[in-house]
Structure 1
Amino acid sequence: MSDVSSPKAPGTADHLMFRILPHLVLFAVLLLIWEMAVRTGIITSIIIPAPSKIIGAIWELYVTKGTIYRHFFITFTEAVVGFAIGAGVAVTLAVCSALWDPFKRYVSPYAIVLNVTPGIALTPIIIAWFGYGMGSKIALAAVISFFPIFVNTLTGLIQRDEDREELFRSIGATDAQIFRKLRVPAALPLLFAGLKIGLTTALIGAVVAEFAQATDGVGVLMSRFSFQLNMAASLATLLSMTVIGLILFYSMEFLDDRIVFWRRESRGAAASRAKARAWKSRMGQ
């Protein structure tokens, strides 16, 4: 039996590296130009430090001293808990609004008023209500993350496919079954789009509250370094905020890929094969 090796598919690791390599080269060139501009005095190092200084500050924050971890965990917790509260309230109100039109007429204006009010302006009031601890940061994160989740969820739920609903009714489906098995799955793509926005805005709310008044958190750490004119450490802390945002965003992206699998052909095909195997196994029994 001859051993014939099949050609590699476009989605292999080599193909992925081929796609990423130009971006890595461009990034390295930009860092080199930045480093040389600072070393030659074209850019003032006090304002924009050299990449080597920022890398040194990152090494100090994460390895030598390890001061970032406690602040990282606090900000991460504030953003996630605030998002969970804001998302829970937003989805609940959106579902109630979709099921009962008078409820939507009364709730929507208040949601719009909350959205057009700048979150920074709410910060002193929320701190006065919840104090200087973690509660005020969680509250502001919940308030800021509420509106995009509410609007996206409501928009997805009120978009109705009359033909599909008629098909469901023709086979005897009740209104509750139509809502649960048709309207909710159809709204999931918009829901997850709102959750991604809400999760990143929750981080913004937590950091803004830390800037206003806090003793711990990545925002506090960045403010301290900025007041000391330690711009390398300040930018290193800013990159840590970026890492938190990426972790949050791609966690929601992962859930989106797994739950709303039918939007991606490969995931839909894999789910179909899994159901086919389960059906064959059940029939074999």
Structure 2
Amino acid sequence: MGHLAIRLVPVIKHLLVFAGLIALWELAAATGVIDVILLPEPHKIAASIWELYVENRTIYRHFIITFYEAFAGFLVGGVLGLALAVGSSLNDSFRRYVSPYAILLNVTPGLALTPIVIAWFGFGYSSKIALGAIVCFFPVFVNTLLALTRTDEDTLEMFRSMGASRAQVFWKLRVPAALPMIFAGFKIAITTALVGAVVAEFSQATAGIGVLMQRLSFSLNMSAAIAALLSMSLLGLILFSLIEILDDRVVFWRRTERMDAVGRRRRARWSVTDAATPGEPQGRKNLT
């Protein structure tokens, strides 16, 4: 119980700070310090959130559409960036030809590409997915490439002295060592994919959170527009959390609690396997 109370202290502090900021905001609006037309009071924003999510329920369709566009764009751009980075790490000549084009794509503003992407892919989902893939490609590519090419030399020498093949060095040494940095690239890419999808929605679309926020802003319904903006932030948090959960599951050795839990599960599984094959040395079947 005492341990739980200690863990709740930071949460309570954050809630108190948040409540204080909301109170100051309400006070500033009530005294005319801020223009409530452009920046409505928090209670009006809360009312708009209730209307969007509970009364009218208009947000859900837009939410799902933008989620699909951003996640699909992340998958396309992430897979492409991962594949090209792996190829570049294995072949220097391939890297010399691919890297300049990847850098050129990165330095080109995504907003400038929007009309061209729409002309190429049309006015449907494809253009939003394509722009999301373009803007999220580079973080995955550069993080994966740097991680796969920066291997500890002492560990690499040990692998070679034990007669490890090139494939074994890649899969048993380079990939596990690169996974933390690869997932860091994924976390950046998933948020940039959302930005790309929303930018494309601003340019042309009939549905999506970006479209909804744009319509509400043009009608000067600022409380609902801010509610839509907060929904966009929520969507970004959900996408980021999905990668965070996957990171926690795959790169488990970076966290002591997760590593101990995985170790316990594996020991239990090995014990069951050894018990089912009497006569063999303990753990032999699983170590070979």
Q: TM-score, with normalisation over the residues of structure 1? A: 0.94
Counterpart of 1:194?
185
1:264 aligns with 2:263: no
Q: Determine which of 26, 30, 45 is the counterpart of 2:17.
A: 26
Counterpart of 1:86?
77
Following superposition, the deviation at residue 284 of structure 1 comes to 2.3
SS in structure 2 opposite 1:22? helix
Deviations 1:42-66 (A, max 9, x none): 1111110000000000011011101
Measured in 2, the distance between the counterparts of 1:253 and 1:9 equals 28
Q: Determine which of 85, 93, 98 is the counterpart of 1:102.
A: 93
Measured in 1, the distance between the counterparts of 2:238 and 2:7 equals 21
Unaligned runs of 5+ in 1: 1-7
Deviations 1:55-81 (A, max 9, x none): 000011011101101000000000000
1:197-276 matches, within 5 Å, as 197-276=188-267
1:20-99 matches, within 5 Å, as 20-99=11-90
1:139 aligns with 2:130: yes
Unaligned runs of 5+ in 2: 277-288
Measured in 1, the distance between the counterparts of 2:259 and 2:245 equals 15
Following superposition, the deviation at residue 237 of structure 1 comes to 0.1
Q: Determine which of 107, 112, 129 is the counterpart of 1:116.
A: 107
1:164 aligns with 2:155: yes
SS in structure 2 opposite 1:275? helix
SS in structure 1 opposite 2:6? helix
Following superposition, the deviation at residue 161 of structure 1 comes to 1.8
Structure 1: 4+ residue segments shifted above 3 A: none
Counterpart of 1:4?
none
Counterpart of 2:285?
none
**Which amino acid in structure 2 is aligned with residue 117 of structure 1?**
T
Following superposition, the deviation at residue 32 of structure 1 comes to 1.0
Measured in 2, the distance between the counterparts of 1:238 and 1:176 equals 47
Root-mean-square deviation (CA, aligned residues, Å) is 1.1
Following superposition, the deviation at residue 200 of structure 1 comes to 0.3
Counterpart of 1:5?
none
Q: TM-score, with normalisation over the residues of structure 2? A: 0.93
Structure 1 range deviating more: 165-174 or 121-130: 165-174
Measured in 2, the distance between the counterparts of 1:144 and 1:281 equals 48
Measured in 1, the distance between the counterparts of 2:209 and 2:161 equals 56
Measured in 1, the distance between the counterparts of 2:106 and 2:155 equals 34
1:154 aligns with 2:145: yes
SS in structure 1 opposite 2:123? coil
- How many percent identity over aligned positions? 58
Measured in 1, the distance between the counterparts of 2:53 and 2:239 equals 20
Counterpart of 1:183?
174
Following superposition, the deviation at residue 164 of structure 1 comes to 1.5
In the alignment of these two chains, the number of paired residues is 276
**Which amino acid in structure 2 is aligned with residue 113 of structure 1?**
L
Following superposition, the deviation at residue 39 of structure 1 comes to 1.7
**Which amino acid in structure 1 is aligned with residue 128 of structure 2?**
K
Following superposition, the deviation at residue 173 of structure 1 comes to 1.7
SS in structure 1 opposite 2:33? coil
Deviations 1:120-172 (A, max 9, x none): 00001101111111111000000000000000000000012222222222333
